[in-house]
Amino acid sequence: MGRAPCCDKASVKKGPWSPEEDAKLKAYIEENGTGGNWIALPQKIGLKRCGKSCRLRWLNYLRPNIKHGDFTEEEEHIICSLYISIGSRWSIIAAQLPGRTDNDIKNYWNTKLKKKLLGKRAPSRRARAANQDPYLAAAGGASNMCSTSGGGGGAMPATQQALSASALERIQLHMRLQGLYGTFGCATTTADNAAAAAPHWPKLAETLMQVSSLPTDAVTTTVSVEQHQHHLVGQSGLAGGAGATAAAVVEAEQQPLGSVAGANYMTAAQGSFERPSKLGFYSPSAEAEAASADMTSYPMVGGGYGGAGVGFGPQHDELYDFLYSKYGSLGGVAAAQGGHIPTLPELHQCPDGAAAAVVGADEKFSAWTTSCEYGAGQQLQGNSISGSLQDYVLGGGYGQ
């Protein structure tokens, strides 16, 4: 037995909202609140709209203090960091950005940030409809690219393909950003240079956010993210790492692009977001060269990059090593000489079996995250939101 529809779809209006409808909804909610029942609300005010539609319209558009467009660099920074850390939990990410809605962030990520960071074009909807999108082809058409499996990739459920694509996208983003930043720190040997050495992405310095000044729902989420960051800092060795790195944490506070302390985008008091040092987004082409040149300059196992002991820790380096060893040769001779950041389709590609590469990468990524340990004193108890986030962080939700 299927679930009953939330409203009579035949009698409700769909499509764009008119100013009159907006005014009705806004006026009613501002005066009476939602009454705790969105389903009944449209009937009360004479709107031929689904309750869910009313809720969405209010939350995403009519609600006071909503910001639209013009994302700042620090907002982009936060979105990127959190996306890498927790994936497409847009509502959680939105909780870190006052005035932004999850829908806005989701759209911004899909239409702009993703392209900006991964240097890929948004797949044409027409192309998707015609099944010609290269990314879908790489993910969903694994059997075509990995013929040794005898079409096994094609047997992967569509949902699993999508989830893997998301996870791999995050890995790829992570690798690209690390590769880019690494170029600034790889050749340094002096303390000064080390101070200028790039941090690892996402920025993982301990957050000092004043959670008490935030709304309750934001606080729970913030604490959760903080837990994750604490843990990652511990993993990375940033907190007690090499002396040069510790100095860098202090000295680099004012450094553009690569300021470790610039990571403290949630450092400001009163719950506001202090502008971090310039993020230094890069053009895809320049990034590709930088990342490529960087890849072979580092020890890929154990010690992180630049010899400074900074990184995501052994699990991360192992993941990186795994991916590099598996995909590093995909670019041919040039890649062998200079390293190669795999593109998303390449990450999906598998030289030795259809779904194996995708699944392997996911497992590796999951293993890395699962191996993370929070300090006992940092465990949050009785907090469903933070608990959920911990689940995400600790591997339960990384399938997405």
User: Using CB under 7 A, which residues numbered 308 to 327 contact DNA?
Assistant: none
Point out which span in 11-19, 247-255, 268-276, 358-366 binds DNA (CB under 7 A). 11-19
DSSP-assigned letters across all residues of 304-372: -BTTTTBSS-HHHHHHHHHHHHHHTTTT-HHHHHH--PPPHHHHH--TT-TTHHHHHHHHHHHHHHHT-
Residue type for position 291: A
56 forms part of the interface with DNA (CB under 7 A):
yes
Chain Cα centroid distance, residue 183? 22
Binder among 81, 85, 88, 143 for DNA (CB under 7 A): 88
90 forms part of the interface with DNA (CB under 7 A):
yes
Binder among 127, 246, 367, 380 for DNA (CB under 7 A): 127
23 forms part of the interface with DNA (CB under 7 A):
no
Contact 309, 185 (CB under 8 A): no
C-alpha closest to that of 100 among 72, 129, 81, 119:
72
Binder among 92, 344, 361, 389 for DNA (CB under 7 A): 92
231 forms part of the interface with DNA (CB under 7 A):
no
For DNA, the closer CB: 107 or 378:
107
Least CB distance from residue 365 to DNA, whole Å? Answer: 15
Instruction: Give how many residues touch DNA by CB under 7 A.
Output: 54
34 forms part of the interface with DNA (CB under 7 A):
yes
33 forms part of the interface with DNA (CB under 7 A):
no
Q: Which two tokens stand for residue 245?
A: 């790195």
Least CB distance from residue 113 to DNA, whole Å? Answer: 10
Q: Token match 């999508």: residue?
A: 162
Contact 72, 274 (CB under 8 A): no
User: Using CB under 7 A, which residues numbered 135 to 174 contact DNA?
Assistant: 162, 166
Compute the 3-state secondary structure of the chain and give helix, strand, coil in percent, each to the nearest 5.
Answer: 55, 0, 40
**Residue 148 backbone phi and psi in degrees, to 5:** -65, -15
130 forms part of the interface with DNA (CB under 7 A):
no
What is the b/e burial string over 342-367, where b = at least 16 CB atoms within 10 angstroms of the residue's CB? bbbbbbbbbeebbbbbbebbbebbbe
Binder among 44, 48, 63, 68 for DNA (CB under 7 A): 68
Q: Which two tokens stand for residue 389?
A: 């986030």
Binder among 8, 9, 377, 382 for DNA (CB under 7 A): 9
Binding site for DNA (CB under 7 A): 1, 3-4, 6, 9, 13-17, 34, 36-40, 49-53, 55-57, 60-61, 68-69, 88-92, 102-104, 106-108, 110-112, 115, 121-122, 124-128, 162, 166, 384, 400
